[in-house]
Amino acid sequence: MNKFSLLFFAFQVFFLTPFSHAQDDVVSELFTLKEIIQLARDRSIWALQAEVRKENRYWQYRVYRSNYNPQLSLDGNFPAYLRAYDPVRQPDGTYDYREVNQNNSDINLSLSQSISMTGTELFINSNVRRFDNFAPDPNYKLYSGEPLSVGLRQPLFQFNQLRWDKRIEPLRYEESKREYIENLENISIIATNRFFDLLLAQMNLRIANINLANNDTIYKIGEGRYNLGKIAENELLDLELNVMTSRQQVAESSLDVETSLLRLRTFVGLTDVETVELLPPSELPDFYVDESTAISMARENRADALGFTRRQLEAERDVAQAKGTTGLNADLFASYGISGRDETLSNMYGNTVDQQSIRVGFEIPIVDWGRQKSRVKTAEANLTLEEYTIRLDEINFDEAIFTQVKQFEMLKEQVAISERADFVAQKRYDIARNRYLIGKISITDLNLALRDKDDAKRAYIQSLRDFWTAYYNLRLLTLYNFETNQRLYNPEEE
């Protein structure tokens, strides 16, 4: 067992054991940092929200994909009965209200297919209509319809939404899958902070309890020395003040432990555990992070990296849309089929004639006072602005990763320094306490040693917190595990 592990073993025995034995009647469990993080990723409300959000975006993507598949639909009006008085124009120009008692039902079956490259819609239709005139002849009926017709609708000189969606929506969906992994890594960061919130609170409580016991012992010794005339009254008052301060610190630390415990249990979902004991992460991962590798992994894996491309395409799409709504707008509609009519449905299908239809609709703005030109110029200006914004975001993207890598290496060294400082401060306090008991130093020197000891322990836990927060933040920024040299997200596995 190395020196680092021996120190943590002593830390656990010295701090964890007394506190646990004092609460034998309370249901308590011991957790490591990785166990708390895994619980949070599996059970927390944040994790469930991320899962639902991921599923929601999957179904949005399915909606987009369905636009490029054949669409079969059935529509109609059946029945469509009407009984009323309608005005009928007479030969002399007057109107007479006649009773109308009719049924005019129809049904239409349509199969259509969109072509994304051109925006064309191809269709096949079949429809039938039935007309019943119940007055004056209740048996009168007539069928008509188009048993089969094929055709197309083709926008001319217009914006093609399907073509742009085919370039943008797959990127958006890929972003959502990477955002899900990023959400999980963000949960790891939150869990790490709440883990160390509770760990620091529990350590402060243990320090406060130990200080209270030590100060109470020293105060009783001081009373005896005061009665013998070996110390002044002001020194005894200082000892009594230390005891009262320690009691106040115990009360404050107890409240802090309860608050931090509640926040951790709520976040992780430990509703069946009354109290939680935490085991400090005694071993740090040993790996080196190269800045260029980190930036490269981030550009390959992060959702934001895909977002740069998507945002550029969306800005270009907006320009194309603005241009597609200016100038000449036209639609071509053409169809060919057969149609028929008869008093019986079977004869209608046997008594058909050819039916052709072609239509070109157009719209040309003549005077719009520069409205369309302004829309195009606005879209082009937004495209330029978005290009500059993306370029700046890319710079900030790289800088954030570079800074995080440098900070990670620095924090790793800081843990070793603070660990040694904690060891030295504890040893110094032990020596100062013994020297005070034999009258070699003043109470002021003892208080300074006590303060330095407590600050060093807190600084050590804080350095661990900073390191592990940076560790998971590095994973979040790169979606890469440098400890195992594995991607956190692989598109081919989805």
In this prediction, residue 493 carries a pLDDT of: 52
Do 111 and 16 share a structural domain?
Answer: no
Do 403 and 429 share a structural domain?
Answer: yes
251-260, 322-331, 407-416: segment of lowest average pLDDT: 322-331
Which domain CATH number covers 229? 1.20.1600.10
Do 226 and 346 share a structural domain?
Answer: no
Do 80 and 174 share a structural domain?
Answer: no
What's the total number of domains in the chain? 2
In this prediction, residue 492 carries a pLDDT of: 64
Do 174 and 155 share a structural domain?
Answer: no
- pLDDT > 70: percent of the chain: 94
In this prediction, residue 1 carries a pLDDT of: 38
pLDDT band with cut points at 50, 70 and 90 for residue 225? confident
Q: Which of 471, 481, 480 is nearest to 191 (CA)?
A: 471
Do 483 and 466 share a structural domain?
Answer: yes
Which tokens go with 255? 């409240």
Indicate the pairing of strand 120-133 with strand 95-115.
Answer: antiparallel
Do 93 and 146 share a structural domain?
Answer: yes
In this prediction, residue 398 carries a pLDDT of: 93
Is residue 227 situated within a structural domain? yes
In this prediction, residue 433 carries a pLDDT of: 84
Do 298 and 182 share a structural domain?
Answer: yes
Do 203 and 181 share a structural domain?
Answer: yes
Is residue 355 situated within a structural domain? yes
Q: What rounded mean pLDDT belongs to the chain?
A: 86
Tokens 């009519």 — which residue?
Answer: 341
140 forms beta bridges with: 133
188-192, 226-230, 254-258: segment of lowest average pLDDT: 226-230
Summarize pLDDT for 374-399 with one digit per residue, the tens. 888 999 999 999 999 999 999 999 99
Is residue 180 situated within a structural domain? yes
**Cα four-point dihedral sign 447, 452, 455, 461:** negative
Give pairs for 131-136: CB < 8 Å, separation 24+. Answer: 131/102, 131/103, 131/104, 132/102, 132/103, 132/104, 133/101, 133/102, 134/101, 134/102, 134/103, 135/99, 135/100, 135/101
Please give the average per-residue pLDDT across 328-338, as a whole number: 87
In this prediction, residue 182 carries a pLDDT of: 95
Give pairs for 263-268: CB < 8 Å, separation 24+. Answer: 263/194, 263/197, 263/198, 264/36, 264/194, 264/195, 264/197, 264/198, 267/40, 267/44, 267/46, 267/190, 267/191, 267/194, 268/36, 268/39, 268/40, 268/43, 268/44, 268/191, 268/194
pLDDT band with cut points at 50, 70 and 90 for residue 13? very low
Q: What does 226-248 look like in DSSP terms, one character per residue?
A: HHTTSS-HHHHHHHHHHHHHHHH
Expressed as residue numbers, the domain containing 188 is 3-62+165-312+383-493
Do 53 and 102 share a structural domain?
Answer: no
> Measured between alpha carbons, how far is 78 from 81 in angstroms, rounded to an integer?
8
> Measured between alpha carbons, how far is 388 from 429 in angstroms, rounded to an integer?
58
Q: Do 278 and 203 contact (CB within 8 A), yes or no?
A: no
In this prediction, residue 455 carries a pLDDT of: 87
Summarize pLDDT for 84-127 with one digit per residue, the tens. 888 888 888 888 888 888 899 999 999 999 998 988 999 999 99
Do 351 and 214 share a structural domain?
Answer: no
Summarize pLDDT for 171-192 with one digit per residue, the tens. 999 999 999 999 999 999 999 9
Is residue 420 situated within a structural domain? yes
In this prediction, residue 231 carries a pLDDT of: 78
Global pTM value:
0.80
Please give the average per-residue pLDDT across 317-342, as a whole number: 86
In this prediction, residue 5 carries a pLDDT of: 40
Do 305 and 225 share a structural domain?
Answer: yes
Q: What does 446-467 look like in DSSP terms, one character per residue?
A: HHHHHHHHHHHHHHHHHHHHHH
